[in-house]
Amino acid sequence: MSKAYLILADGTVFEGTSIGAEGKTIGETVFTTGMTGYIETLTDPSYFGQIVTQTFPLIGNYGVESGDFESKKSWVRGYIVRELCDKPSNFRCEDGLSAFLKDQNIVGICGIDTRKLTKILREAGVMNGMILSGDESEKLKTENGKLVAENSLLEEIRAYKIEKAVESVQSLCNENDGDFKGQRPLGEGVAENANGGCSEGETSPKIANSSSPAPKFSVVLFDFGAKANIERELEKRGCKVTVVPFDTTAQKVIELNPDGIMLSNGPGDPAENVNIIEEIRKLCESRIPIFGICLGHQMLALARGAKTSKLKYGHRGGNHPVKDLESGRVFITSQNHGYAVESETLPDYAKLSFVNANDNTCEGVTYTDIPAFSVQFHPEACGGPHDTNFLFDKFIEMMR
């Protein structure tokens, strides 16, 4: 295996071993604390534009199973692990992780001190980075026995910016015929079982489960980069889900006469989606029940007059505690976001429902003047935990 290098925008250089594809990639370097669920992480469209660092030291030990994909392809710009397991043990395993990364043309690096990297990102905040391997690694030089990145590389790294993320995800989906998500009812190609909607024992995606109840409700799912398990959770509760692209107008949604509207997760800065936010504002006036998750939560808040801001290093992983302000109960949640709603900017008709137990940031909002609520975390988390998937039941009750 050849050498690979990670260069951060502050000039720090890590030397490791190449995994996946060889070449050069630039992205926003972030870390996720999940011990499992790396397949879901790699196929989550919310990671568009980012180089993802896994803080758990051993990744790949159960291989790759297509039934666990949240979309058909990987969206990360690069991938960083401490140790890659090249001999996975799992009866469902279809391929090794490095082979999957190579097939997806994802440039990766292993064998670096991910603990040190995580500390840098925690102290300085997320920053852009570049992974170099193969012929591209010749662009590094050595000064006084230390690897140094040329100024031209650092300028290129610092200039990178994630823009038009939602639009880009949709465009890339449309380039792939028969995409796992694409422009279709998501039920085609979604594996499901009774265990929280997550596939166990399935080796490939399949068409809607025959044991699913007959549809009782019609739900429009706005696809801003939706994870497949959002639809799984809705379908197993008796919903017929119609997926619409990000640029669908409020009028077209209303003409579909849905019982409810789901605003999905997705990548990027929520505030840049000005047109989407305006259409959400119009949907709020329709009084059709609305449930927003992650990016959908943020854009719903923006549509109602609140503000969002970027977090220092974000919340990513499956062990984030949130407190229900009504009951006082704390739930462990899966999260993946770099922006948050500013609680102090919420209007009088918006009630803060959940807060992060670590930093007290906004994790949920209930609107008292319209039938709508939203959460920053992921109640549909297929890799777990499943503590908060009861929120889908709350949405069902709202549609009755």
Residues annotated as catalytic (active site), given as ranges: 294, 378, 380
Burial class (CB in 10 A: 0-12, 13-18, 19+), 91: exposed
Taking the C-alpha atoms of residue 154 and residue 130, their distance in angstroms, rounded to an integer, is 9
Question: Using the 8-state DSSP alphabet, how is residue 138 labeled?
Answer: G
Residue 103 has φ and ψ, to the nearest 5°, of -60, -35
Cα–chain-centroid distance for residue 191?
A: 19
DSSP letter string, 9-55: TTS-EEEEEEEEB-SEEEEEEEEE--SS-HHHHHT-GGGTTEEEEE-
Residues 6 or more apart from 208 whose CB is under 8 A from it? 187, 188, 190, 192, 235
Distance CA 256, CA 249 (A): 11
Main-chain dihedrals φ then ψ at residue 284, nearest 5 degrees: -60, -35
Continuous H helices in the chain: 38-42, 97-103, 114-124, 151-159, 165-174, 228-235, 250-255, 274-286, 295-303, 390-399
> CA quadruple 108, 106, 202, 392: dihedral positive or negative?
positive
Which of 357, 376, 356 shows the shortest CA–CA distance to 365? 376
What is the spatial distance between Cα 326 and Cα 369, in angstroms, rounded to a whole number?
18
